[in-house]
Amino acid sequence: MTGIYTHRMKTEPQYLGPYKVVQKTWGGSYILKEMDGAEHEEHYATFRLIPYILRDDPILYELAEEEIVSPAESSGSESDHASEASDLDTDIKMDDP
């Protein structure tokens, strides 16, 4: 399933859909159909299409697990960044005018 990016103004919906892909044309655009089976006459360019993910799709849980960082890991990474920054500060040399 896919959606169509249509954002033109703030008050208009940013995306439409979901739609099913019927086929990819020879020119690289896509023919879509509604969920009830009504086919669109207009062909849509690839850059206007976005994947549609259902709320209960397992991929969302996998993506969420990748984003979760424990507080112990995040505090350790900050100290690593601080030590890297201090190393960078000592490497900077300025010429006297």
For the chain, domain boundaries: 1-52, 54-91
Q: What does the pLDDT read at residue 91?
A: 44
- Closest by CA position to 1, among listed 15, 20, 14, 16: 20
Predicted local distance difference test score (pLDDT) of residue 71:
53
Per-residue pLDDT at 63 exceeds 70: yes
Query: Which three-class secondary structure state does DSSP give residue 90?
Result: helix
Please give the mean pLDDT across all residues of the chain.
74
Residues paired with 15 in a beta bridge: 5
Distance CA 68, CA 62 (A): 10
The residues facing 32 across adjacent strands are: 21
pLDDT at 3 over 50: yes
Residue 73 is predicted with a pLDDT of 57
Other CB atoms within 10 A of residue 1 CB = 13
Judged against a pLDDT cut of 80, whether residue 48 lies above it is answered with: yes
Burial degree of 46 (CB within 10 A; 0-12, 13-18, 19+): exposed
Task: Name the pTM for this structure.
Answer: 0.51
* Segment 64-83 mean pLDDT: 58
